[in-house]
Amino acid sequence: MKKSLLLAAFVVVLGVASAYAQPRAVGVNLGPWSSLSYQHGFGDSNMLDVAANVILPIGHGVGVGGHVTYDWIDPFGAAVPWNNRGEWHWYMGVGGSGGFIFGDNGGWYAGVAGHVGIEYDFWFPFQLSLDWRPSIGVAGSDGIKFNTGGLWGGIQLGVRYKF
């Protein structure tokens, strides 16, 4: 009993230490689908990107939603070669999205989300990025229909603090 409790405590401590040892960033993405953004790194080549969206009234109505994607950093071993003082990275990933659009043509939506972007990590804890987060899936208010409106969300400027 004591051995299993000690092993469980060790695993919890190791998991917490591992989570806090990974790079993280928090900030905003500015664009037609503006969002609060959180990134959690898993080593040097993977990250989880979580975004809470506020959909502005630019052709899509007003709404709220979110994206969660698992991203690969510098996939295929193709790093951006212009690393002077800071570092350039590009990433791509896949995940899910969902939310609600309010108004006359509103309703819910859910689907598969993609994530493609390029970022510059400064030598101090600050990051700028350009992101595109397309999503495709289903939507409904009166009935379920195929949703392609998320493909045209636009490119967003990301501004994040790294810690």
Total structural domains within the chain: 1
The parent domain of residue 81 ranges over 24-162
- 79 domain-assigned: yes
- 8 domain-assigned: no
Q: Which of 64, 57, 155 is nearest to 115 (CA)?
A: 155
- 100 domain-assigned: yes
Q: How far is CA 158 from CA 15, 23, 74, in A?
A: 29, 17, 18
pTM higher than the cut 0.85: no
Q: One digit per residue, pLDDT tens: the chain, 163 residues?
A: 555 444 444 444 344 434 444 589 999 999 877 899 999 999 889 999 999 988 776 655 788 999 999 999 998 887 777 767 888 899 999 999 999 988 776 788 899 999 999 999 999 999 999 999 888 999 887 778 777 767 776 789 999 999 9
